[in-house]
Amino acid sequence: MKEQIIIFDTTLRDGEQSPGASMNTKEKIQIATQLEKLGVDVIEAGFAAASKGDFEAINQIAKVVKNSTVCSLARALENDIIQAGEAIKPAPKQRIHTFIATSPIHMEYKLKMTTSQVIKKAVEAVTLAKSFVDDVEFSCEDAGRSDIGFLKEISDAVIEAGAKTINLPDTVGIKMPSEVGQMVQKVYDHIGRRAIISVHNHNDLGLAVANSLAAVQNGARQIECTINGLGERAGNAALEEIIMALKVREDYFNDLYTNINTKEIYPSSRMIATITGIEPQPNKAIVGKNAFAHESGIHQDGILKNKKTYEIFSPEEIGLDLKDTLVLGKHSGRAAFKDKLEKLGFTLSSDELESAFEKFKELADKKKDVYDDDLRALVTSNMTSVDKAYEIISLQLMDATGGVPSAAITIKMPDNSEVTDAAIGDGTIDAIFKTIDRITGHSGALMDYKVKSISKGKDALASVTVQVNFNTDEPAVIGHGLSVDTMLASARAYLGALNSYNSMKGMLKKRDNKGV
């Protein structure tokens, strides 16, 4: 009998803890919808008690996701669990994931609690969570550095209280694969089938995927992971690497299966990279830009004779169609546009399709060939923009070289009026951002600015990602801007950040100790 490995995706929770990866509610809904299409069993949609924004996003996701279980993280605290239970209520399948640290260092210094106090808190948390949902997961935070006897003891207690999954995270990413394997095996020998054993490995030593696979070989039946390996510090185990290892080496991982549709891996990876602005490194396994690039003559010769000489799986298996990247031009019609978007994994309502088609036509007027990546960027930015927003009407730049750089900008305000103003700056970008500040009455501190070209050609679409802090008590927000003109893309990115900030006003995580 084949056994299922449950795929628990935490891109929207641990992944969002990657520096610079915070997302707005619309973006999170878009990602959750794609994760469901990908076939993940559990979507950890956020940490409901962390902020109003997190609560709202989880609640909205719970309303749209039907097939995957929607989960919220909660510390072993009454209010956290109540918030989590309320946030996931609309979902047909709901889970609360509660946790407390179990390692000596965390219990002594962070929690200042004894082992019996920790067990008591854990049992109270699971009992309260059970009053909201049947499906409760308990995590022993820092299990990797915890005493194995204590892991068994606390597992017994929380299983007795109703926990169905016991998660053993290597929170600090310090373990070797054989050590994770032994830990899982010992806990598995003790609890048997009374609960599912899960792992959650961080990648501080680059071993998160190897550790997750070692856990599976020793009895773990749930893996927590993220798309593109996003996550706190060096990230979490990358979903795409785990899935393709299990698939390509089916002979090695005997009789195990997942519900993942591998053809949705590449679209998911691109969507998350586009939304967060965090690109996987070019040589990243499975989804990196070079993952299928055969550079040396010997390799190219082999590939031409038989792909299997150097390719262990085909790009098509992960939904990457290398032959079909040149797409549309200005004479392409709606039907071809819709067909192409469907192939890329986007399902749009007729209004969304119409608006994306208009943007595509504008782009095709300026750019001869529109590629898959252009379309992904265009559709994602269109779908994730917020309502009632500021919008650039026109941008004029003067004296970029020699004189004093200045910008004159007209912006459509949220009340539909148009305001024009101008400012000088230390450089052109500075002048643009200062003008936007003058018009909108905000004053943003630019924390990060990145520009990259989407696809190729001198007329390539520029994608600008900015991270801007509009309030020192709150985290910075991300904005993306697209245009064949880099300066216009920069202005759009800055306004995008401001629009995101306004749409989340009062809902962002405050700078307190509520983060995980």
3-state secondary structure at position 415: coil
What, of Zn ion, ligand KIV, none, does residue 444 touch, CB below 5 to 8 Å by kind? none
Residue number, 146 or 440, with CB nearest to ligand KIV: 146
16 binds ligand KIV (CB under 6 A): no
The span of 59-67, 88-96, 165-173, 444-452 binding ligand KIV (CB under 6 A) equals: 165-173
Residue number, 177 or 444, with CB nearest to ligand KIV: 177
Least gap, CB of 224 to ligand KIV (angstroms)? 7
11 binds ligand KIV (CB under 6 A): no
What is the spatial distance between Cα 372 and Cα 361, in angstroms, rounded to a whole number? 15
Least gap, CB of 447 to ligand KIV (angstroms)? 24
The span of 167-175, 189-197, 259-267, 359-367 binding ligand KIV (CB under 6 A) equals: 167-175
Are 442 and 498 in contact, with CB atoms under 8 Å apart? yes
Are 135 and 113 in contact, with CB atoms under 8 Å apart? no
Q: Using alpha carbons, list the distances in angstroms from residue 327 to 322, 349, 352, 367.
A: 12, 21, 20, 12
Element (H, E) at 423: strand 418-424
Among residues 84, 31, 478, 97, the alpha carbon closest in space to that of 239 is found at 31
What is the spatial distance between Cα 203 and Cα 238, in angstroms, rounded to a whole number? 9
Q: Is the dihedral of CA 74, 151, 179, 95 positive or negative?
A: negative
Among residues 8, 65, 62, 60, the alpha carbon closest in space to that of 34 is found at 65
Binding-residue total with Zn ion (CB under 5 A): 1
477-489 burial, b at 16+ Cβ within 10 Å, e below that, comes to bbbbbbbbebbbb
Residue number, 141 or 373, with CB nearest to ligand KIV: 141
What, of ligand KIV, Zn ion, none, does residue 68 touch, CB below 5 to 8 Å by kind? none
Least gap, CB of 287 to ligand KIV (angstroms)? 22
What is the spatial distance between Cα 151 and Cα 250, in angstroms, rounded to a whole number? 31
Residue partners of 113: CB distance under 8 A and separation at least 6 = 107, 121
80 binds ligand KIV (CB under 6 A): no
Least gap, CB of 296 to ligand KIV (angstroms)? 40
Least gap, CB of 236 to Zn ion (angstroms)? 6
What, of Zn ion, ligand KIV, none, does residue 516 touch, CB below 5 to 8 Å by kind? ligand KIV
Side-chain half-sphere CA neighbours of 429 within 13 A: 16
What, of Zn ion, ligand KIV, none, does residue 463 touch, CB below 5 to 8 Å by kind? none
What, of ligand KIV, Zn ion, none, does residue 99 touch, CB below 5 to 8 Å by kind? ligand KIV
The span of 63-71, 154-162, 164-172, 429-437 binding ligand KIV (CB under 6 A) equals: 164-172
Residue number, 50 or 161, with CB nearest to ligand KIV: 50
Query: Cβ atoms within 10 A of the Cβ of 201, count?
Result: 31
3-state secondary structure at position 437: helix
Can you tell me which of 171, 198, 274, 499 binds ligand KIV, judged by CB under 6 A?
171
* Cβ-based burial of 297 (10 A; exposed 0-12, middle 13-18, buried ≥19): exposed
Structural tokens at position 301: 């010769």
516 binds ligand KIV (CB under 6 A): yes
Structural tokens at position 349: 């309502």
Residue number, 141 or 372, with CB nearest to ligand KIV: 141
What, of Zn ion, ligand KIV, none, does residue 284 touch, CB below 5 to 8 Å by kind? none
Can you tell me which of 8, 55, 99, 138 binds ligand KIV, judged by CB under 6 A?
99
Least gap, CB of 201 to Zn ion (angstroms)? 9
What, of Zn ion, ligand KIV, none, does residue 139 touch, CB below 5 to 8 Å by kind? ligand KIV
- Residue ranges of alpha helices (H) inside 6-147 are 25-38, 52-64, 78-87, 104-105, 115-130
159-177 burial, b at 16+ Cβ within 10 Å, e below that, comes to bebbbbbbbbbbbbbebeb
Residue number, 141 or 240, with CB nearest to ligand KIV: 141
The span of 12-20, 148-156, 342-350, 359-367 binding Zn ion (CB under 5 A) equals: 12-20
Per CB under 6 A, contacts with ligand KIV among 197-226 are 200, 202
Amino acid, single-letter form, for residue 243: I
What is the spatial distance between Cα 161 and Cα 130, in angstroms, rounded to a whole number? 8
Structural tokens at position 369: 């060939």
Per CB under 6 A, contacts with ligand KIV among 124-163 are 139, 141
Per CB under 6 A, contacts with ligand KIV among 276-335 are none
The span of 166-174, 273-281, 423-431, 492-500 binding ligand KIV (CB under 6 A) equals: 166-174
Least gap, CB of 141 to ligand KIV (angstroms)? 4
Residue number, 200 or 340, with CB nearest to ligand KIV: 200
Binding-residue total with ligand KIV (CB under 6 A): 10
Among residues 58, 151, 141, 146, the alpha carbon closest in space to that of 96 is found at 58
14 binds Zn ion (CB under 5 A): yes
169 binds ligand KIV (CB under 6 A): yes
286 dihedral zone (left: phi>0; alpha: psi -120 to 50; beta): left
What is the end-to-end Cα distance of the chain in Å, rounded? 38
Structural tokens at position 244: 């393709």
Residue number, 226 or 435, with CB nearest to Zn ion: 226
Q: Across the strands, what pairs with 95?
A: 71, 135
Q: Which residues bind Zn ion (CB under 5 A)?
A: 14
Q: Which residues bind ligand KIV (CB under 6 A)?
A: 14, 99, 139, 141, 167, 169, 171, 200, 202, 516
